[in-house]
Structure 1
């Protein structure tokens, strides 16, 4: 919930969003499919929510960093999908590197958060439908 909150203009505050939440299913091409089952309908609702939330945060001036579990080789397809959904103005899109293919998703998110923080970014929020993306206190 972001009512009343505004981004600071120093450019170091970022909202980390799970890029995979913008997809109806794990398959990048699934949005072309005409299947209509309950699971897909729920995924569509989730995807629509994340797109609208992204657009609201962007309109409020937040720097949005997207992180995906998908491999780097799918970067162009991911960008095309995000652009088609109206989500094209992010600060950074982080994809899974070749040497991270065996890394579990929680470790991937933790590593990327650490890299961003070491680069001087302050992660204001992490937004994901998956618990693995949410940092756990040590």
Structure 2
């Protein structure tokens, strides 16, 4: 099987499995109920842009990410939106879509009035996520 490199934010991985392992380790450094740190939030925003349902998951904008309970006693990342709603997302789905990079800027540019105000990031363009 050919290795497929993937980039998630500032992190470059030689294969998708390494990206998944990185995101898994990030998830497991938090306890259920924790708010994700500013640095990790920027990585998660870039990862979420790779999710097959990125636009729906991001909704009207994101205030912050957290770790909460998921199915069958597991835990996962949750996106918390500006309208007060929240939704879980799979880091595994994000790390499997390295091919989606051309779509990412379109999603981030057109579908995100992301307000990561809790992290001091007032606009996705100001945060440097778009490069």
- TM-score, normalization: structure 2? 0.34
Q: Which has the higher contact order (CA 8 A, sep 6+)?
A: 1
Which of the pair has more CA radius of gyration?
1
